[in-house]
């Protein structure tokens, strides 16, 4: 939507987080609203005072909010209801304003699981999740629900242990990786992310006969993904999860099917 088409009935959606300057959410959602000719606009707000931001969302009647670091957990205290998956995960990344009631969802989980299920059946697959931060948490719950045989490995083993105890799965330190032979390897650590693009969590020699999913989406192809491709592995890039989770948000806020190809295209153009 361009400025001249904003009217007094335009619905407002937003992302709240801190920092927020590099978020791609305004780009992806505004492109989708425009393509679908919806009278919506999306803005980004750097939020330090979360409670006040949610009060503001209610007072100004925002239709939807995307929630990012560091607010995904604390925001749950200020909502009217939280759907079951988000409650189990213990984090909300999406708020829908349904006639004044603020409902919390987690589209990171479904976004990642959808990306995986397009390529592979998850049940009983030996799956290693690298990392035990916020994104790992969402994905781990989704994997467990799908019946994957899950092991969580993290630099700080205590965090892997805590998450694994909630999920009821195996855990360990990153050094265990090379003694395991997974069907699926998922990187949820920030290793390899812009600007430290030479970093990778896994030695190239280890990447054999497995599906490799790196949720880092900037750069579009991380070193891990490039090396997995060179070794003939199937791969999924983080962009797929990013687009899926944004598409699910779009669908919650508008009730319309999201234009996923367009959403993917605008992010690829931006990051290429
Ligand atoms: N594609 C998508 O839609 C999507 C969605 C969400 C996040 N992401 C990306 O996923 C990444 C993680 O996000 P998050 O929200 O989960 O972050 P987070 O909560 O801060 O977790 C970061 C994780 O990375 C690990 N880590 C960081 N630096 C490391 C290093 N030098 N060596 C080994 N491990 C290291 C941390 O280990 P410790 O516990 O030991 O600190 C932790 O497990 C980010 O790059 C983010 O952009 C992508």
More confident residue, 53 or 1: 53
CATH topology of domain 3-106+245-271: Rossmann fold (3.40.50)
Angle at 264 between CA 27 and CA 41, to 5 degrees: 30
pLDDT of residue 1: 53
Best residue among 66, 107, 110, 189 to mutate for probing ligand 1's pocket (most ligand atoms within 8 Å of CB) is 189
With a cut of 70, say whether residue 22 has pLDDT above it. yes
Of 19, 190, 237, the one to substitute when testing ligand 1's pocket (max ligand atoms within 8 A of C-beta) is 190
Q: What is the pLDDT of residue 4?
A: 78
User: In the structure, which protein residues have their CB atom closer than 6 angstroms to any atom of ligand 1?
Assistant: 69, 108, 111, 131-136, 154-156, 159, 188-191, 193, 215-217, 238, 241-242, 245
Residue ranges, comma separated, of all CATH 3.40.50.720 domains in the chain are 110-240
User: pLDDT of 153-180, one tens digit each?
Assistant: 999 999 999 999 999 999 999 999 989 9
Q: Where in the chain is the domain with CATH 3.40.50.10860?
A: 3-106+245-271
Active-site entry in 72, 88, 125, 221: 72
Looking at CATH, the fold of the domain delimited by 110-240 is given as Rossmann fold (3.40.50)
Q: What is the pLDDT of residues 229-241, one digit of tens each?
A: 999 999 999 999 9
Residues 135-142: what's their mean pLDDT?
A: 95
pTM: 0.95
Instruction: Give the confidence band of 3 by pLDDT, cuts at 50, 70, 90.
Output: confident
Q: For tokens 């992302």, what's the residue?
A: 15
CA of 30 relative to ligand 1 center, distance in Å = 27
Which residue CA neighbors atom 11 of ligand 1 most closely? 190
* pLDDT > 90: percent of the chain: 97
> Is 256 a catalytic site residue?
no
Task: Look over the chain and give the mean of its residue pLDDT values, rounded to a whole number.
Answer: 96
Is 74 a residue whose pLDDT tops 60? yes
User: Does residue 107 carry a pLDDT above 80?
Assistant: yes
Residues of the chain with pLDDT > 70, as a percent, come to: 99
**pLDDT of 43 over the 80 cut:** yes
Cα gap 127→164, rounded to integer Å:
13
d(CA 228, CA 222): 10
In Å, the largest CA–CA distance within the chain is: 61
> Is 109 a residue whose pLDDT tops 60?
yes
pLDDT band at 40 (very low <50, low <70, confident <90, very high): very high
């Amino acid at each position: 939507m361009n400025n001249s088409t904003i009217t007094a009935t335009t619905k407002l959606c937003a992302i709240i987080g801190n920092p927020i300057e590099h978020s791609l959410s305004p780009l992806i959602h505004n492109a989708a609203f425009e393509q679908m000719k919806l009278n919506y606009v999306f803005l980004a707000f750097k939020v330090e005072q979360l409670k006040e931001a949610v009060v503001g969302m209610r007072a100004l009647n925002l239709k939807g909010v995307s929630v990012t670091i560091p607010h995904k957990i604390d925001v749950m205290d200020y909502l009217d209801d939280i759907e079951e998956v988000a409650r189990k995960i213990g984090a909300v990344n999406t708020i829908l304003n349904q006639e004044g009631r603020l409902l919390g969802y987690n589209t990171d989980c479904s976004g990642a699981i959808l990306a995986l299920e397009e390529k592979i059946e998850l049940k009983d697959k030996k799956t290693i999740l690298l990392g035990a931060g916020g994104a790992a948490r969402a994905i781990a719950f989704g994997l467990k629900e799908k019946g994957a045989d899950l092991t969580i490995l993290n630099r700080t083993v205590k965090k892997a242990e805590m998450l694994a105890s909630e999920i009821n799965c195996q855990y360990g330190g990153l050094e265990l990786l090379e003694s395991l032979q997974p069907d699926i390897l998922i990187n949820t650590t920030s290793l390899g992310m812009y600007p430290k693009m030479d970093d990778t969590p896994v030695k190239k020699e280890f990447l054999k006969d497995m599906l490799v999913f790196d949720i880092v989406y900037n750069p579009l192809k991380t070193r891990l993904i490039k090396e997995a491709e060179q070794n003939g592995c199937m791969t999924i890039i983080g962009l797929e999860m990013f687009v899926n989770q944004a598409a699910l948000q779009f669908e919650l806020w508008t009730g319309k099917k999201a234009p996923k190809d367009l959403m993917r295209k605008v992010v690829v153009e931006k990051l290429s």
